Every structure is written in structure tokens, then in C-alpha cells.
Structure 1
Amino acid sequence: MTADRIAARPTMAKLTRSTHPVPVYPEKILQFGTGVLLRGLPDYLIQKANSEGKFEGSIVVVKSTDSQTNEFSDQDNLYTVAVRGVQQGQEVVENTIVSAISRVLAAQTQWNDVLVLARNPKLQIIISNTTEIGLNYVEESIFQHPPQSFPAKLTAFLYERFRSVGGSKAKGLVVIPTELVTDNGLKLREAVEKLAQFNELGKLFTKWLKFHVRFCNSLVDRIVTRPTEEDKLALENEAGYEDDLLTFTEPYHLWAIEGDDRVKQTLSFAGPSTPQIIIDEDINFYKERKLRVLNGTHTLTMPLGYLLGLETVADEMRHPAMSKFVEQLMLNEIVPTVPDYDIPGMDKAAVAQFAHDVLDRFRNPHLDHLLLNISLQQTAKMQARNVATLQRYYEQFNTAPKLMAFGFAAYLLFMKATREENGQFFGEIPLSGGGILNYPVRDDKAGYFYGDWKTVKEGDAATVDAFVKSVLSDTTLWQADLTALPGFSEAVAENLNALLTEGVEKSLEKVIA
């Protein structure tokens, strides 16, 4: 804490319901998770609906990680969402006090209170964001206080709900996991059903679960972070109160939920005035669009940006050559391959608009989106996000995509570890002012590439070509033989050889010329 901050804090009142009176609404939502994504997207949107008189419901939050909830109770469960960024060329600055959370319960010490909530007739919705592995099935008793895994906690809660309402159809619930897992709703349902069977909860409960509890696949898209200490102080000075739960986010936000008319009726916080919340029986268009355009571009550009010595996505967009590469790659090679439904909102225009929104997001100077964080499990991401895009490009244009080939070559160079320490692999980048920058290669395939790169001899194009063919033909990596795509292996090898012999900056300038 800086001296300026120590001096500034005593002059401010803490954000509470005394300093900022707000309406009290009935508890309609149970939320598992206290993280910034939930605070900055679902809870923020529910707050917006409350302020417009559309939902008039509050959220009870369950915290599973520890029993400390004072960061919320000290502020009467209020917090600020600070939106900063650029949207369609316009600077966006917005502060919203979120009062939608009524209380936060610690699962470890207040599990009985959580189960009591199951009997609340006004409860309608359950939202979660645990972790990617948080939806995994764990064989355990749901009668522990509390159960250990999230699916077991949810099963215990639903069983208590079933017992209290006598299997009533009218008291069923809508469950919306927001974890970044494909078909998250289906996966969570499967885990709950297995736990019901393991715990012998009976056929009537299984029937109620099947017909009256709706598990929805969902997609969340918004970058939400905690502010830096400097930004926190500036925002508190601007707002005039102290907020230890201050949440920092970009303007763009989307919450796509797979659901039918019953789901739409229950989620009354969504409607024509909230186009950021999409409820549809099929949300695959939104999943595919995000996976290919946003995530796929990140994966194909991150290695190149990092090899240039850049640190964040915003740094990439400030670099003249790199920003040009990002834009050309996204708009000219990725966007044309994204499948569309040829209906308004799910057509080529919607894909193109999303791409321009993503470019605005990449340029946001207020978000420190570190390239090295994006590099985690780069190989698996390359397969999941870009192999289908590459194949679709060939189907449409029957030629090697110039920029994808260059991005793939940069990825291979980024994966070149030069040393291993205790099972951790490290690459290195020569710095312009002299010296070497070492970076971790955090990828399950780091050892694979560490071995294969040893076959490459400096200045020997033939060994580069053989290395590239070996990697691209490995179907265990790509679920496809990428050497079968005419000219792609040759283009990647040529680009990789240029990166090795001419350097990253010079090679990039040539490819975007």
C-alpha cells in the first residue's frame, strides 16, 4: 500500500447500504461462486434488470473455498462494477453499484443455512462458476456437511428442495453453470444424476430431477479483472467511497443460455432491452463464433506477439505491424470460415460485427491481458480452436492461408524450449538491448517439442522442413494429418525458417506487406 493510499482511505466512507440505500428484494437465485466473472456479468445483468423493475430478485451466494465472507458482509454485499474501454469507436466509462446480492454463506460453516434456502418457494434459479474441473463427478455421500465437490453440494441442495416441495412441478429450478466447459449444463446434469444413483435417492427424485429441473448449457463472454492498486485508488477517489470488492471490466458482454420457453419465462431478467442475454434452444452459433474469432485469433497471434517482446494484447494492438497482422488474420482468414445460420443475428453480418467488437476489446488499454497467460496449454488450444478453421479455409479457397501459416510457424518457434528444470521447460528470446528473456513453456506437449526441436540444425532448411512435416502429420496432436492440406506444411516450414534466420520483426513485415 502506497503512502498516498494510506492518506486517502481515512477520508472515505466504505460502500454500505447506510451510505448507499438500496431496495431489498426476495431471494430468487442461488449462486455457487464469488469470483469476479460472476460479479461482473450475471450479477451485473441481474442488477440492471432490478434497477429497471424487471426482475426484482436477489442472489444468495455460496462460497466454498473458505469460511471468510467478511469482505462481502463489511460492505453489506454491495460492490462496484467499473466498465472501461472502447465500443464502436466510443470511449465507455460507467460505474454501477451492484446490490443484487443479499447475503454470502460459507459452505464450510453455514451448510444448514444453504439447505434451508432450498425450502424457499420463491427460489427459481441456480447459477455456478466454480472451476473447469468443478463440474467433474466425484463419488461421495451428499449427506456430509458439506459435501466436498460442487456437483455433490448441488445434488444435496436439489434433494432437500425435492423433499420440501413434495416433487412439485411448480417448484422446479433452472440451473445455469457458467464454467468454461463445452456443454456445461449437460455435464453437470450427468454428474448430479450419477450422484443421485450412488446415494440411492430414489426413483421419485430422479423423475423430478428429469422433468422439473432444467440444466442449461451456457456461454459467458466478458473479460473481468480486479483493478490494480493504482486504478482502485483512482476509482475510489472518483466515486467518493472505499470499495474492497471493486470489479473492473470491459464494455462488451454476452451471456448465451440454451433454453426453451419455460427458461425464458423463469429468467425474467432477460428480454428485448437486454440483447446481451440470449436465450435460445441452440447456442452453438455463439459458441463457434467466440471459439474461432476471439479464441482462435488469440492462439494464432499470442506466440508472435510474445516473440516480438510484447507483454499484453493491448501491446499487440499498439504495435503497427502486429496490429495489422491481427486484423488481417481475423477479418480475411478466420471470419469467412465461421459457419452461420443465414438468419438475422446469426448470419455473416453478425460474425463480422463480432469480429470488429473483438478488435475493440483487444485494443482496450485498461485491461492487462497478459500474453503469457494466454499461452497456457497452447497446443491443445491450437487443435480445438484452429484446426477446423484451417480445414474450412481449404474447403472455401483451396489454398494455404498465408497468415495462419505464419501464425502456426510462430507457435512452433514459441514451443522451442532450450532447457528443462525439474520437469519445467523454458524458452528464450534475445532482447533488443542485449541479454536473454527466459519464459516458461506451460504446455503438456512441451517435452514432445523439446525432443523434436533437437533434430533441427541452425541454418539447415531441410531439417526445418522435416521437423514441420513430423509435427503436422502427428494425428495425436491435431486429430488430423495437416500435411494432407496442399501447400500448408511447405508454407509453415518456409515461415519458420525465415523466423529463425531473418528474425521475427523482419519476417512479420514481409508477410503483411
Structure 2
Amino acid sequence: MERLQEAVAVHLGLTSAQAAQRPIRIIQFGEGNFLRAFVDWIVQQLNNKGLFGGNVAVVQPLENGRVHVLEDQERLYTVILEGLKDGKPVRSHELIDSIGKTVDPYKDWDGFLALADDPDTQIIISNTTEAGIAVNDGDKVTDQPPAGYPAKLAHLLKRRFDRSLPGFLIMPCELIADNGPTLHRALINVAERFGWGKDFIDWLDRENTFVSTLVDRIVPGYPREDAQELWEKLGYEDQNMVKAEPFLLWVVAGDQTAQRKVDELLPARKAGIDLVTCDDVQPYRERKVYLLNGPHTTMAQVARLAGFKTVGQVMGDKTMRSFITCEMEEEIIPVQTLPKEELENFAAAVRERFDNPFVQHSLDSIGLNSVAKFVSRLLPLVTANVEQGRGLPKRIVLALSCLLWIYGGKAGDAVKIQDDQKVIDAFREAAGQEDFVNRILSDASIWGHDLTRIAGLVEAVQKNLDDLADRGVQPLIDRLA
């Protein structure tokens, strides 16, 4: 079997040398599976269509990173798309040659700073995990490099400022709300702590464009279990290949000037890529959290009690599929702010993603930290339905009831509980009391506020628990499907 770079030259008529002639237009903090199957894949599509003509410089954000593994393959790797699109199976692979440079700032600090010197480079993208956009109080101006991402980026921007070059379009992809303004504030914090003065901070505000983003693509990552089989099909070994679903969405929010800049520098829509520019990410964030993550959380409670193991099994069962569809259509879509047709189209796309036959999405995995997930993904929907006069959403209330059943120890070893120990202890203590439901739902330390104040919720949950004890979960599912 050939090495990847040899296979590229022989089988595909491409060489990494040809790709390297493109200028670096993006600095990307993060070399993980997601960015390589999302941002770098998008750049590849733009280059393929002659719309971008640029490459990405990938910066390793952590000391124990893996840019050296990319370098071993001359920065070439394969993205494998598997899933459903418009109801039809998609299985494709594509060589990605859009990474033109890799830098490990822990080994080459000067090389990292030099990225700021190229006037062709106009965009900065990051995905350093949700905890990445936080100032590390231990970082010092003399550190080479500092530990925190904001401090690393601040040094790069200071170099850009010192060279009297224009600023960047800065597009953080970390999965936190308002990631653009949050990163902006962190950079100002670092600049002030490092004593860099008003001129630099003014340049940071004036010359750089910060946008907020929401990224959406399921990326299972490196296909370890079937790697050898895939190598045989590809005709070469690829230690960096990554699987992803066909679905992709990138929502970018900013003012009108920022939106025009995004469309100018990253013309993804011209390539048929679903990049949405808007004033506010929040409605799209809510759409994703409530219509994709919300039903996932419902499945992790209700479907596991019914014996299901994966999302695919849930969607393959006629009754469970109807249950989830009804939850989307009757309890989630009516309380969202985006247009109904747009929400219905997204819900249909989500169900198609749930149907993906190539991804075995474990309900036990989704069930990790179920209480916090219920609070963020489903509890706001309970409140919204009640406040809008729609009454208690029965399927979501059943999910809450099943959560109490599981965490209260009634499911035994049949359903795994993986959560913060304080949460587990609180449920165990309350479960030993006669007024379990009232006691646990009133615990604001768990839910954020006293849920017993929601009219009828205690009674509805208690009724569900009584029915679970008498008949099990299936009749409850049947009734609501």
C-alpha cells in the first residue's frame, strides 16, 4: 500500500507542492477532527471552485498536540462523508490539501509570531474547546508561549499592530454563546494586563472584526474500527482521515459591515455551502439546541428505559419515531422565534441526521451529565410552553419523569448514570423520602430555580412515576406517539 503523498501524485494527479503555492489566507487555532472536517473542508470546496485561492495555517493550541502527525503526511488527509442527504445515502471521500502550513508555538515561537507578517492572511479561526476562551491568570507577557489561547492570540495581534498591517476577521468557533464578544473582551483583558497601552487596544477595536458563530456538523472523527478497510479502498494509508456527516451549517453573526466582510472574504454560499450571515446567532443556537440536542436528551431518558441503545434504533422504531416527531412539532417548534417553515425544514433535516446508518450514536453517551443537559436543552421549553398558554409539554415532562426514575435508582443497572457526584448524591438523598418529587424538583441548586412553582408539574411527574411503577415506560410512549 502506498504512502499518502505518493498516492496523491500517482492516482489523483495532485501534489502537495502545487497546493503549497496558494497563499496563507487563514490562521486556524486547532488541528482537531472538527476543524479539519469543517473549516478546512469548506476551504477545500472553495479552492476547488476557484473562489478562494488560499490555504490555512494551522496552529497547535496545546503543548500535547498533533501537528507533527499532519506534517508526517505533508499536511494531506482524507475527509470521508457518510450519511443521508435528501433521503439518499452518501458515502464519499476527498483528499484535503488546503492546509498550507503547520506551527507548534511550543517549539517555534518565532515561527508562530511570523504568521502575523503576511498581508495576504486576513482571517483567524479557532476551536480551542469551550474553556479555551478564558484568560489564564498565570500567563505573563514574557511567556513564549503563554498557556492560554487569548494570550497567544494577543501576541499575534500585537505583532500585526507593530508591523502596521491591517487587522483580521476573527471567527471563533468555540461552542459558547457570544463567542466573538467574549474573545474580544478576553483580548482586551490580556492587553491591559500585559501593559500594551491604549494605542494597541484602539487598533484592536478599530481594525479587527469580531463575529459570533454557530457551527453544526457531526464529526465522528478518526474511523479507528474500520481504518484498515478504508485504507484498502483508498489505496493509501492515512493516519489523519476523518469521518463526518454530509450536513453542515455555519451561522455567522455581526453588524452589516461584518456580514459583508464575511461574504467577501469567505464566499462559501457561492460554493453551495450553507453559511448564514445574520445579526444574531441566538435564534439559530436555540433552533439547534432545542430541535437537535433536545430530542437527543429525551431519547437518553425515555428510550433507554424502553431498551433502546442508539439513536438509529430509536428512529427505526415506528412508535418512538412518532414520539420524537411529535415532540418536535408540538412542543418545540411552536415556541421558537424563527419562521415556522424554516424550523420545520430544520427538524426534517435533523431527523434525517438521526437516521444516519453509518453512525452508531450511543444513548449512554448522550446520557452523560443528563441533568445539566435537561436544564439547558429541555427545561426552557417547559417554561416557554407554560408561559405561552400551551400547558405542560407532555413528552418533555415524561423525559423529566424518566430522568427522576433513573436518577432515583428505580432503573437499577439497566441504565447508566454518569453525572456530577453532587447531583447523584442529591437525587439519592431525596429518593429516600416520601415526598421525593416535590423535594427534588424544588432544589434550585440542581435546576436553577424551584420547579415546583410551575403549575401542575409536580402532579404530572408524580403521575408518570406511578405509571412507570405500575406498567413500565412503553404504555406512556404509546399514548404520546
TM-score, with length taken from structure 2: 0.91
Aligned to 1:280: 278
Aligned to 1:449: 427
How do 1:268-417 and structure 2 match up within 5 A?
268-340=266-338, 347-417=339-409
Contact 1:174 1:266 in 2 (8 A): no
Contact 1:257 1:280 in 2 (8 A): yes
Q: Tell me, what secondary structure is at the counterpart of 1:414?
A: helix
- Which segments of 5 or more consecutive residues in structure 2 lack a partner in the other structure? none
Residues 355-406 of structure 1: per-residue CA shift (max 9 Å, x gap): 0111111111211322222223322222222222112222344322221111
Q: Distance in 1 between matches of 2:395 and 2:476?
A: 12
Q: Which moved more, 1:22-31 or 1:313-322?
A: 313-322
Aligned to 1:37: 34
Q: Tell me, what secondary structure is at the counterpart of 1:136?
A: coil
Picking from 444, 449, 453, the partner of 1:484 is 453
Picking from 3, 12, 24, the partner of 1:13 is 3
How do 1:138-217 and structure 2 match up within 5 A?
138-139=136-137, 140-165=139-164, 168=165, 171-217=166-212
Aligned to 1:424: none
TM-score, with length taken from structure 1: 0.86
The code of the aligned residue for 1:234 comes to: E
Q: Distance in 2 between matches of 1:249 and 1:191?
A: 32
Aligned to 2:413: 429
Contact 1:377 1:444 in 2 (8 A): no
The code of the aligned residue for 1:496 comes to: L
Residues 218-265 of structure 1: per-residue CA shift (max 9 Å, x gap): 101111022433432333222222211111011111111113334325
The code of the aligned residue for 1:326 comes to: I
Aligned to 2:124: 126
Contact 2:251 2:276 in 1 (8 A): yes
Aligned to 1:94: 92
Q: Distance in 2 between matches of 1:498 and 1:443?
A: 28
Contact 2:130 2:174 in 1 (8 A): yes
Contact 2:33 2:222 in 1 (8 A): no
Q: Distance in 1 between matches of 2:362 and 2:380?
A: 26
Residues 42-84 of structure 1: per-residue CA shift (max 9 Å, x gap): 1111110111111111001111232653321122111111111
Give, in angstroms, the shift of residue 283 of structure 1: 2.1
Contact 1:128 1:177 in 2 (8 A): yes
- Which segments of 5 or more consecutive residues in structure 1 lack a partner in the other structure? 1-10, 341-346, 419-426, 431-436, 456-462
Q: Distance in 2 between matches of 1:372 and 1:290?
A: 21
Q: Tell me, what secondary structure is at the counterpart of 1:329?
A: helix
Match status 1:58 vs 2:55: yes
Q: Alignment RMSD, CA only?
A: 2.1
Q: Distance in 1 between matches of 2:342 and 2:471?
A: 39
Q: Distance in 1 between matches of 2:420 and 2:310?
A: 17
Contact 1:224 1:249 in 2 (8 A): yes
Contact 1:417 1:450 in 2 (8 A): yes
Q: Tell me, what secondary structure is at the counterpart of 1:224?
A: coil
Contact 1:66 1:106 in 2 (8 A): no
Contact 1:338 1:389 in 2 (8 A): no
Q: Which moved more, 1:48-57 or 1:280-289?
A: 280-289
Residues 407-455 of structure 1: per-residue CA shift (max 9 Å, x gap): 111111222358xxxxxxxx7334xxxxxx6553456522211211121
Q: Distance in 1 between matches of 2:269 and 2:460?
A: 48
Residues 321-346 of structure 1: per-residue CA shift (max 9 Å, x gap): 33222222122211111112xxxxxx
Contact 2:309 2:364 in 1 (8 A): yes
Aligned to 1:422: none
Match status 1:47 vs 2:51: no
Q: Distance in 1 between matches of 2:161 and 2:474?
A: 63
